A and B are shown apart, each in its own frame.
Chain A
Amino acid sequence: MDLDAQLVDLCLRGEQSAWEQLVHGHSRRLYQLFYRFTGNRQEAEDLTQEVFLRVYKTLTSYRSSEGSFKTWVTSVGRNLLIDHYRRTRHDRQTSSLDDELSGVAERPSPRPGPDQAARQAELNARVERALLDLRPELREAVILRDLQELEYREIQQVLGIPEGTVKSRINRGRIELARALERMGIQRE
């Protein structure tokens, strides 16, 4: 039994410190998953809170024999993302292309300073933008593999699809992302 499974057991016995450790151990990763998928801090924070609320309520349904807690909590987060994506689809369709582009331009540079850091920040912003333009099923696969660094088996469990499909989506997502970055003129230097 891994550490997370032991912590879940302690949680179910009423150990509050175990729950704190679980939240501390997974909140950052889930927040980054939501942020990379939505591109919005506020939405990522809301989703992170919501996923832990849901996990806390359904903690008794977790079975360590069926997979790791990391995979399970990511699956819960992914279901939330799907709900969120459906809820906000209308908003996204009505937003103009100018708004999208201005959002990229106004994205603050994480490390302002020398020119190189500014160029890297600009590159990061464009990669994030291109990632957000990917189709959701490709985006989530690429995020889980290249940003969250999950194994194919874990991604298969999270997405509930065969491993071949997982690899296909990741491959297709990377190619579309590369072409989008080429169109932005920041590849093939």
Chain B
Amino acid sequence: MAWTCAQTEDRLLDSFEGTLGSALEAEMRSHLAACAGCAALARSVRQTIAGLRQLDPIEPAPWLVPKILEQTAGPKPARRRRFAWFDLAWQPRFALGIVAVLVTFTILVRTAATGAPASLAALSPVQAYREIDRRAHLVYAHGVKFLSDLRVVYEIQSRFQPQTESAPAPTPEKRSSEKPGRVLYGRLDGRAFPAPARPALPETAKFSAALARQYAAIDLRSSWPPGRKPWHGVGRDDRPGRTA
């Protein structure tokens, strides 16, 4: 039985996929070689399959999947972040709140410090700048004064302390050269300090008094190098017993 055009149409798919079988495939090939219409149809169907597979994929809208998820599983819960509260800092209301707190704090501090009633004039930038500048200078001055006081205290201590360790005991001759009738409390760089009246010392000053009594027994001049004035070398550590 001869292969017909209808058979060719019916078995095209099998022929394309190689499932026709060798005998039927040979019959179809011979028919296609003889029938121009069927050959053209087979070629056209091949082109159609290729054209279908070359169609550009159509992408869905980007909102489609989120919308499906929202419609089915409901809105997605917001993910908790560790520093999510920090996002507040970028909001205008947060910035306004911070400014309001700072202004209130400034007014309260100024009122408490100066005793002056709060006024709107105090909020002017020039006034605020002056106030801040004045306070900064005051703080700086207090700091400088504190350091200066500390330096004086340490200077006095450093001048007294070595004498108690290395100064020799005063001789009777030296003591007799002092003016009679004058009680000396102590000496510092050759200068004599008269003994002050002794008020009742508070308990906390007992140690200072004991120290002062020790200093009173020291005669700095007795160990001073000959030919040198007591005021020489002030500011330098050239006291007896020390090397330059």
- Contact flag A181-B68 (CB < 8 Å), given A175-B41, A188-B43: no
- Contact flag A147-B47 (CB < 8 Å), given A49-B71, A170-B13: no
Interface check A146, CB cutoff 8 A = yes
Interface check A86, CB cutoff 8 A = no
Contacts of A23 in B (CB 8 A): 65, 68-69, 72
List CB contacts (< 8 Å) of B71-88 with chain A: 71-73, 76
Q: Does A178 lie within 8 Å of B48, measured CB to CB?
A: yes
Q: Does A167 lie within 8 Å of B44, measured CB to CB?
A: no
Number of A-B residue pairs at CB separation under 8 A:
109
List CB contacts (< 8 Å) of A129-144 with chain B: 131, 142
- Contact flag A179-B44 (CB < 8 Å), given A27-B64, A32-B57, A147-B52: yes
Q: Does A178 lie within 8 Å of B52, measured CB to CB?
A: no
Interface size class on chain A is 35 or more
Contact with B along A35-52 (1 / 0, CB 8 A): 110000100110011001
- Contact flag A20-B69 (CB < 8 Å), given A178-B47, A187-B47: yes
Contacts of A123 in B (CB 8 A): 51
Q: Does B13 lie within 8 Å of A171, measured CB to CB?
A: yes
Q: Does B13 lie within 8 Å of A127, measured CB to CB?
A: no
- The residues of A with any CB-CB pair to B shorter than 8 Å are 16, 19-20, 23-24, 27-28, 31-32, 35-36, 41, 44-45, 48-49, 52-53, 56, 110-111, 120-121, 123-124, 127-128, 131, 142, 146-147, 167-168, 170-171, 174-175, 177-179, 181-182, 187-188
Q: Please give 14 more A-B residue pairs, beta carbons under 8 A apart, in addition to A23-B69, A123-B51, A168-B10.
A: A19-B73, A20-B73, A31-B64, A36-B58, A41-B58, A45-B61, A49-B71, A52-B72, A53-B72, A167-B14, A174-B49, A177-B52, A181-B51, A187-B48
16 pairs, CB–CB < 8 Å, chain A vs chain B: A23-B68, A27-B64, A36-B55, A41-B61, A44-B58, A56-B72, A111-B56, A120-B54, A121-B56, A124-B54, A124-B56, A171-B12, A178-B44, A181-B44, A181-B47, A181-B48
- The residues of B with any CB-CB pair to A shorter than 8 Å are 9-10, 12-14, 40-41, 43-45, 47-49, 51-61, 64-65, 67-69, 71-73, 76
